[in-house]
Each structure stands twice: as C-alpha cells, then as structure tokens.
Amino acid sequence: MSRRNNSSRRGRRRGGGKNRNEARSQIAESIQLTCIRCGKDIRNPQMALASPENEPIHFDCAIQEVAEAENLGAREKICYLGQGTFGIIKFKSSSSNKDFIIKKRIPYEKAEQAVDWRKQMREKLDFGR
C-alpha cells in the first residue's frame, strides 16, 4: 500500500476555488453599470455602491462626494466603515495612523432598499453555482 504525500496537494483548493472565482468574476462583469457621478463604466460592479438615489456609483466617486460635503479638520480623513456607511476619523497624532477615533458616521447607502442591479448580480451568481 502506497502512502500519499500531502506535498502534491499543497496550493490546491477544495471545490475548484480558482475556477469558481473566475466564473463569478465573469458573471459580475456581464452586468453593465454606469457611474451616476462620473458617467464612466463600472468595471467591478461588486465593488460599486448605491448612491442615495439608488443608482450605481464607483467607490472612489462616493468617497469624493462625501468628502466634498464635509469640512475636514486637521488630522481628519474620510474612510469606509462598512455596510454602506462612511465615517470621519480623527487621528490622535499626526505622526501615527494607529490611534484614531470615529468622529462622525455618515450613512450613504439605504439599507432598507434592495437595489435592482445587485439583485441581478446575485441571481446570476446563484444560478452560476
């Protein structure tokens, strides 16, 4: 009886992870979205946010929009906190980015409303399994 050597399995993923991720990427790219702010195509729709009008917007365009609406003080910066919320963070020291406080939370996406283009992407991903 021969013993299998695990070194031949290193780097492999169970369930064909690389092929599955490629398929998901192709499905996401099949959805054509245009940014409401800059008018350019959104190449990575899975990274897009929903604007307050529920239209797709580039992540970077959303950050610019929020930054323009807020007056940032010294050692303050806009950051994404997650779940459609941005925040103004204030660093305690100008020499270190380790210590900071969240000064203000800015809700950007409306959590209670499902967005059509996200539904389409989710449906395609579910059927692609």
Within a domain: 6: no
Within a domain: 97: yes
Mean pLDDT rounded to a whole number for the chain = 81
Within a domain: 80: yes
Within a domain: 8: no
Within a domain: 5: no
Alpha-carbon dihedral angle through residues 95, 98, 100, 105, given to the nearest 10 degrees: 120
Domain that holds residue 45: 15-127
3-class DSSP state of 43: coil
Residue 119: pLDDT band (50, 70, 90) is confident
The encoded tokens of residue 67 equal 């930054």
Within a domain: 57: yes
Q: How many domains is the chain partitioned into structurally?
A: 1
**Tens-digit pLDDT profile for residues 54-112:** 899 999 999 999 999 999 998 999 999 998 999 999 998 877 778 899 999 999 988 77
Q: How much is the pTM?
A: 0.70
Q: CB-hemisphere CA count at 13 Å for 43?
A: 1
Phi, psi of 33 (to 5 degrees): -125, 145
Within a domain: 27: yes
Residue 21: pLDDT band (50, 70, 90) is low
Q: At residue 17, does pLDDT exceed 70?
A: no
Within a domain: 3: no
